[in-house]
Chains A and B, each alone.
Chain A
């Protein structure tokens, strides 16, 4: 961590991410301070240009764009981080099992991982996202609720995200299991799971951290695409992705509405990717650029 601060690009990326996260976290306070409400519709002030009262102007329903962006950031960032955690968690368990236990399980799991990586995922995700949960036996209120759509999104994105982590964790597990301290643990008669969790996992934390960081970027991108297509976060709850859906139709009148949310997605994903890349360079000197 301390060495990362020495890298100007990584430092800048961390600062940008911290600012975005703080702004999103304190969105309700900022709302209060501005005396505005992100949900407040004001049809007399539709699509107004930036003004002291509305620093970034208003959207097609007269809502303050800045506050919508902050609220959207809360949703997009929390979905991004939680789905990345779930995906890396699944990937870590599968990678550990695959690499440590080996054999047919390894072959089967890695074949599935390759399959997931190779298939055209977006068309498949669209089908999954369109499934009506009430037909699975959930009560309609639960199926239609905001929480259900958030959880569904996290599940969907995790389904896509695990293979990358699984491959990385498997690779480092394979090299770790040949090391003396693992041999020693095995000689002491510890169970495979204990060895995998207590001895292999802590030593594989580096690649896991890199994979988790990089997957945050991918997840934020995927969430925005799904929400943009109307299959992720549904309005009126704002997310950076679904704010662009409405903006698309107003592109001739107010291109501003299309620029801001996308800019925030882009800045977030670039920062996360640069940070992940810097982490990888620090942790694995072989891939260092200089």
Chain B
């Protein structure tokens, strides 16, 4: 088990390394470098100044050399300064990561709270009217463009009804208390959890239907266990296993979704930070933001695999993972 864990952690580090190199190279290809931007802002700048600034920023050196410099200081814990915010990159990331974690955590919670009863209702009578209605809703959930759902929610709850704020983290007039924060989180969490609720419900439903056909369910029913108890104690426990894997696999799309949701609702989290950094040529911040998102996703994946092994005694990880 510990060898499996070590192997997977090494693999994760390797993926992050490849990703950092690839992203660094790509960021170098983005329109305009910091010196171009400085030059554009100052009409008195001479070509000699530009050349001097390029040397100062190290932009005259080849990209792989710059990457190695970045890597060696990153390994020493120095991730550089953000150009947009004029702050150390790490400060911004540690400031904004909690917002995203809160958003994703709440969405996962909502997704499970809704998906569990929905899947149970659907699986009770497969093909029946309840099942068909839930199935159609699931299709709607996976097919709705998240940013459009956000717009619709804003139109309904902020523009028309005026019940909830259209964006932001807290109201300027509010007391900044937890209730105010919660009001600002409702629409983002609903937006982010829509697709997840749908995916979980569908998977859980088919897992439940499969489990309900097993012999031990018939045994439980035959010995007179009430149907409710059969569902929760016997079927659900086993049907939840694939959902654990799904949560791990789905983290990547939740992070992607967080980018859209945070941008739509002006939540200062990692997603919006990455988007703003890429759009604003803030290389250092964009790079670290992307790597943080990727690392969190990969670690979440690993966590789901470990939880799966913990929950299902039949699974034993050998040193060759995934084989």
**6 interchain pairs, CB-CB under 8 A:** A111-B322, A117-B249, A121-B256, A122-B255, A241-B145, A262-B148
User: Sorted from nearest, which 7 A-B pairs have the closest CB atoms?
Assistant: A262-B148, A122-B256, A120-B255, A132-B31, A269-B143, A270-B143, A131-B29
Contact (Cβ within 8 A) A123 B249: no
Contacts A131-B30, A266-B140 given; 14 further ones with Cβ under 8 A?
A120-B253, A122-B255, A123-B289, A127-B290, A128-B26, A225-B145, A225-B260, A229-B263, A230-B279, A248-B151, A255-B159, A265-B145, A266-B148, A290-B127
Instruction: Please encode chain A, from 254 to 265, with 1 for each CB lying within 8 Å of some chain B CB and 0 for all others.
Output: 010011011001
Contact (Cβ within 8 A) B294 A120: yes
B146 within 8 A of A: yes
With a CB–CB cut-off of 8 A, which chain A residues contact B15? 115
> Given the complex of chains A and B, what is the CA–CA distance between A136 and B26 in angstroms?
10
A273 within 8 A of B: yes
Consensus secondary structure, chain A interface? helix
> Given the complex of chains A and B, what is the CA–CA distance between A25 and B29 in angstroms?
36
Chain A contributes a number of interface residues (CB within 8 A of B) equal to 46
With a CB–CB cut-off of 8 A, which chain B residues contact A217? 143
A279 within 8 A of B: no
Q: Which B258-316 residues sit within 8 Å CB-CB of chain A?
A: 259-260, 263, 271, 274-275, 278-279, 286, 289-290, 293-294, 297-298, 301
Q: Kindly count the residue-residue contacts between A and B in the assembled complex, taking CB atoms under 8 Å apart.
A: 141
Task: Say yes or no: A251-B154 contact (C-beta < 8 A), given A118-B301, A121-B252, A126-B275.
Answer: yes
Contact (Cβ within 8 A) B297 A119: yes
Partner of B151, one of A128, A136, A258, A273: A258
Shortest beta-carbon distance from A243 to chain B in Å? 11
Shortest beta-carbon distance from B156 to chain A in Å? 9
Instruction: Please encode chain B, from 238 to 254, with 1 for each CB lying within 8 Å of some chain A CB and 0 for all others.
Output: 00000000001101110
> Given the complex of chains A and B, what is the CA–CA distance between A58 and B241 in angstroms?
51
Contact (Cβ within 8 A) A251 B151: yes
With a CB–CB cut-off of 8 A, which chain B residues contact A259? 152, 155
B139 within 8 A of A: yes
Contact (Cβ within 8 A) A127 B26: yes
Instruction: Please encode chain A, from 37 to 78, with 1 for each CB lying within 8 Å of some chain B CB and 0 for all others.
Output: 000000000000000000000000000000000000000000
Contact (Cβ within 8 A) B159 A251: yes
> Given the complex of chains A and B, what is the CA–CA distance between A289 and B289 in angstroms?
43
Shortest beta-carbon distance from A151 to chain B in Å? 16
Contact (Cβ within 8 A) B293 A135: no
With a CB–CB cut-off of 8 A, which chain B residues contact A130? 30-31, 278-279
Shortest beta-carbon distance from B222 to chain A in Å? 26
Chain B contributes a number of interface residues (CB within 8 A of A) equal to 55
Q: Which residue of B lies closest to A253 (CB)?
A: B159
Contact (Cβ within 8 A) A221 B294: no
Instruction: Please encode chain B, from 122 to 145, with 1 for each CB lying within 8 Å of some chain A CB and 0 for all others.
Output: 000011000100010001101111
With a CB–CB cut-off of 8 A, which chain A residues contact B151? 244, 247-248, 251, 258, 262
A124 within 8 A of B: yes
B23 within 8 A of A: yes
With a CB–CB cut-off of 8 A, which chain A residues contact B251? 118, 120
Task: Say yes or no: A118-B252 contact (C-beta < 8 A), given A225-B146, A244-B148, A289-B127.
Answer: yes
Shortest beta-carbon distance from A214 to chain B in Å? 10
A224 within 8 A of B: yes
Partner of A251, one of B155, B260, B271: B155
With a CB–CB cut-off of 8 A, which chain B residues contact A115? 15
Task: Say yes or no: A289-B126 contact (C-beta < 8 A), given A259-B155, A266-B148.
Answer: yes
Contact (Cβ within 8 A) B145 A118: no
Partner of A265, one of B131, B148, B154, B290: B148
Instruction: Please encode chain B, from 160 to 198, with 1 for each CB lying within 8 Å of some chain A CB and 0 for all others.
Output: 100000100000000000000000000000000000000
A176 within 8 A of B: no
> Given the complex of chains A and B, what is the CA–CA distance between A255 and B155 in angstroms?
7
Instruction: Please encode chain A, from 86 to 99, with 1 for each CB lying within 8 Å of some chain B CB and 0 for all others.
Output: 00000000000000
With a CB–CB cut-off of 8 A, which chain B residues contact A230? 279
